[in-house]
């Protein structure tokens, strides 16, 4: 009888996991393209946007919560493509998928570790379902 309850418990657990993963919609948004960066080709960039006076939206190639590391995007062909993440109330991140206007502070570095800043500016972007593009404006 114990084995029957174990099997039923395992089946129930598998069903819950299966239904939860199939009911989640994949977030396809979250892309920021910053243009007008020709003089910074080969350098690295990331961006931050505030909401309510606090930086709550990050744009980078990758954010690793395990190592608390932000991977900056490499500038190529006068632009950089970054993934956009929103900080949640529990301090985890999820991909940004809204349709609104945001102004980002943009930071450009000589290296991918962010040790030598070479420029700072901003970009204002009108997002459509998490994707947007705008020109870099030097500070």
Mark out the alpha helices in the chain (DSSP H runs): 2-23
The predicted model gives 95-101 an average pLDDT of: 91
Separation between Cα atoms, residue 9 and residue 17, nearest integer Å: 12
Q: Is the pLDDT of residue 78 over 50?
A: yes
pLDDT of residue 116: 94
pLDDT of residue 22: 34
Measure Cα distances from 1 to 5, 15, 71 in Å: 7, 21, 53
Higher-pLDDT residue of 30, 120: 120
pLDDT in tens, 35-60: 999 999 999 999 999 866 677 899 99
Taking the domains of the chain in order of start, what are their residue ranges?
A: 31-138
pTM of the prediction? Answer: 0.76
The predicted model gives 11-17 an average pLDDT of: 38
| Side-chain half-sphere CA neighbours of 18 within 13 A | 6
| CA nearest neighbour of 108 among 58, 61, 59, 45 | 45
């Amino acid at each position: 009888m114990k084995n029957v309850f174990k099997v039923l418990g395992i089946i129930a657990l598998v069903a819950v996991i299966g239904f939860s993963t199939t009911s989640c919609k994949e977030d396809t948004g979250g892309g920021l393209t910053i243009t007008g960066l020709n003089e910074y080709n080969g350098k690295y960039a990331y961006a931050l946007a505030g909401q309510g006076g606090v930086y709550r939206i990050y744009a980078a190639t990758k954010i690793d919560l395990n190592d608390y590391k932000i991977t900056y995007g490499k500038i190529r062909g006068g632009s950089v493509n970054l993934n956009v993440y929103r900080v949640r109330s529990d301090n985890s991140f999820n991909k940004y998928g809204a349709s609104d206007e945001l102004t980002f502070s943009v930071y450009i570095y000589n290296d991918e570790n962010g040790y030598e800043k070479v420029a700072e500016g901003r970009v204002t972007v009108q997002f459509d379902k998490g994707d947007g593009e705008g020109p870099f404006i030097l500070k």
